[in-house]
Amino acid sequence: MTNDQIEKFVEPRHLDKDPVRISFKTRNTFNGVFIQSRDYEDLKSKNYWRIVSETHLQEWSRTHDQNLSRIFHGGEFTRLTDLKKA
């Protein structure tokens, strides 16, 4: 997916808020939250995204420690799904 496609999905409602299901070309699907950190604009311009997986979500919401996140390239995404609608 392109950074524009991801941005249109994430920024209105999901950024730092609601988890989404992220499907990949070469790895297993997982749920996570896209987070906005200091490097968000720089990463977004290169189609990289900082995501906290569902397993670390509780701790992240308490501490906002960006070390709980991982960076993924948007080109590996095949689909983003709103978990509230799924």
pLDDT tens for 2-21 read: 999 999 998 888 788 889 99
User: What are the domain boundaries of the chain?
Assistant: 3-82
**Rg of the chain, C-alpha, whole Å:** 12
DSSP string, 16-55: TTS-EEEEESSS--EEEEE---TTHHHHHHTTEEEEEEGG
Report field, pTM of the whole predicted structure over 0.75: yes
Instruction: Compute φ and ψ for 37, nearest 5 degrees.
Output: -110, -175
43 contact partners, CB below 8 Å, separation of at least 6: 49, 50, 71
H or E segment at 62? Answer: helix 57-63
pLDDT in tens, 29-64: 999 999 998 999 999 999 999 999 999 999 999 999
Class of domain 3-82: mainly beta
